[in-house]
Amino acid sequence: MTEKGKKLDIVQVLLNYGLIIALCIIIVIVSISTENFLTVRNIINILRQVAPTGIMALGVVAVIVAGHMDLSISSTVTMSGVVCVSYVKYLQADVKGICLALLTGAGIGLLNGAIIANITSKKGRKGESFIITYGMQAAIAAAALLYTNGIYMNLQEKSLHSFFGKGYVPIIIFVLTTVILEYVMKCTPFGQSIYYIGSNEAAARMSGINVKRNTMIIFTISGFFAAVAGVVLTSRVGAASSTSGNGLELDAIAAVVVGGTALSGGKGGVMKTVLGVIVMGVLSNALRLLNIDTYPQMMIRGVIIILAVLLDVFATQFKAKGGAKA
């Protein structure tokens, strides 16, 4: 192998595994500066903290790979949370509450999917999903306000519902959803079709994929996962309010993109997203453990997101170049 070839390899490794390397660097630096970072308790804490956003990110990654966007997931988390907690608190009907919450989420997702799939099939106006789900976000947020009348619902009693946020349960749910989605996206024809739809919808349609139906299913998955996140989140904090999901959609989407899934669609995946979720979670935890002031903290988080996207873009470009030479 020539000198140049070796150099190319190193660069390629750096670019391909950049995020994992960055994660390791963060872990090493923080472990040296603070003694409590690399402890079992803190690691479990981090996993518990990222579980709700992580589950949301898993739902939305399917949407993003298909070349769409779902901003409504934050309101879905809120709505499913208040539906669930209202049943738990006032009627002691945990099972009913949780089932209804999940159905609500899937329903909101299906509604998104139905609208977007029909628009996309007409003249392929794909970008509309961004603004349609934004509208849905506002509408569902208002519905949650109407439903609760703005009341803060605090749960005091232990119940079946509180089990989902305690101990290892949120982590197990996160792992389970990861495994299921990874299987669906990698090993089923439906999962493959998501990638085809994302990279070239017209071609996907011509090759016989039912784009409309699959788009609807993808959004339903996203809504359903957001509802699971809503149940886990409300169980974890033992309360629900009409604002509890606010802002979480961007945390989830940022984790997806940091993991290396392209917003243009057709590229990315479940395991990458899990890595993105963990990087963002470890980073937030590290910044808090180092007790860095608020504004620098926000700035560092912003810069890391931008760097992660740049890294991914360079890696893709580099690979394309290398492929051309070979």
Binding site for another protein (CB under 8 A): 34, 36-37, 39, 41-42, 45, 48-49, 52, 82-83, 86-87, 89-91, 100, 103-104, 107-108, 110-111, 113-115, 118, 143, 145, 147-154, 156, 166, 212, 216, 233, 236-239, 241, 243-244, 246-247, 284-285, 288-289, 291, 294-295
User: Least Å distance between CB 215 and another protein?
Assistant: 11
Angstrom CA distances, 25 to 276, 277, 283, stand at 15, 17, 11
Element (H, E) at 306: helix 294-325
Output 261 or 284, the one with its CB closest to another protein.
284
Cβ atoms of 262 and 7 closer than 8 Å: no
Reported as half-sphere exposure (CB side, CA atoms, 13 A), residue 320 has a value of: 6
Q: Which of 80, 57, 46 is nearest to 234 (CA)?
A: 80
**What is the maximum alpha-carbon separation in the chain?**
73
Token representation of residue 287: 């910044």
Q: Tell me how many degrees the CA angle 303-305-309 measures, rounded to the nearest 5.
A: 115
Q: What's the gap between Cα 146 and its chain centre?
A: 27
Output 11 or 145, the one with its CB closest to another protein.
145
User: Least Å distance between CB 245 and another protein?
Assistant: 9
User: Least Å distance between CB 131 and another protein?
Assistant: 18
User: Least Å distance between CB 324 and another protein?
Assistant: 42
Output 178 or 220, the one with its CB closest to another protein.
220
User: Least Å distance between CB 16 and another protein?
Assistant: 32
Output 6 or 158, the one with its CB closest to another protein.
158
Output 82 or 262, the one with its CB closest to another protein.
82
Residue with tokens 């030479």, as numbered in its chain = 325
258-281: string of b/e by CB count within 10 Å (b at 16+)? bbbbbeebbbbbbebbbbbbbbbb
Output 60 or 108, the one with its CB closest to another protein.
108
